[in-house]
Amino acid sequence: MPIGDVLAGKVALITGANRGIGFAISRRLGQMGALISICGRDQGKLNRAVATLRGEGITILETQADVVRADQISSLIQKTQHELGPIDILVNNAGTGVFGPFHEFGENDWNTVMDTNLKSVFLACRAVAPEMIRRQTGHIINISSLAGKNTFARGAIYCASKWGLMGLSGCMAEDLRGYGIRVSVICPGSVATEFAGQGGKDHSKMLQPEDIAHAVAALVTQTPESFISEVHIRPTRKP
């Protein structure tokens, strides 16, 4: 059931939202009254996510889309605007990673991670920016990682993509703030999702998807005269 109407009438688009962090963000913003648009590549998982959220009284639109395809991003934006209205909040959550010694990976591995974690954000932000500029309002939130601030063995390609995302986010914030558009980036530590895998970590001590959704809720309820540019989230106890 909705828990408030602080975002009533606002349209929020969340990428990679059929599970995990993206699903939790969609639920939280929907509970706050926002009209939700989600996308993902797996139609079955999209259908299950939509069924759950609609069952909770959330208005939601789903689109099967590959966020590394400019044409599919364009269609996603147009469908969202046509069905729900202009996009007020864009959350770039879709992501992937490969882990191991950098010299053991091929060019395809590099391209897959960079396209999903970095190129997709550029494409989505480029697609929503003109309308946000015209309306002189909007909030873009990019889900990065503490791997975008730190390096570690076996994480070269993933870290490179997230460091790039930090740079892209900072520059976009400067490009758009004069139009009243806020760009924020969230850097979580390890989150207990399918992406985290097993890895020998205690999932009960890891961050939960709802922790990231809470941070997003805080960002979008900031007063219009200011914005939080960067958030770091760590578990209280190391997993």
Rounded Cα–Cα distance for residues 51 and 53 (Å): 6
Residue closest to 93 by CA, chosen among 14, 195, 209, 161: 14
Contact in structure between 177 and 140 (CB atoms under 8 Å) = no
Residue with tokens 């889309």: 65
Query: Do residues 50 and 60 make contact, with C-beta atoms less than 8 angstroms apart?
Result: yes
Instruction: Please state the separation of Cα 144 from the chain's center in Å.
Output: 8
Catalytic residue among 158, 160, 190, 192: 158
CA neighbor of 59 nearest in space, from 29, 86, 35, 37: 35
Which of helix, strand or coil describes residue 207?
strand
What is the DSSP secondary structure assignment for residue 97, as one 8-state letter? -
Report residue 3: phi and psi, to 5°.
-110, 5
- Unique residue bearing structure tokens 């009438």: 9
CA 136: distance to chain centroid? Answer: 22
- Is 158 one of the annotated active-site residues of the chain? yes
Q: Residue 211 is encoded by which pair of tokens?
A: 């922790």
Active site residues: 158
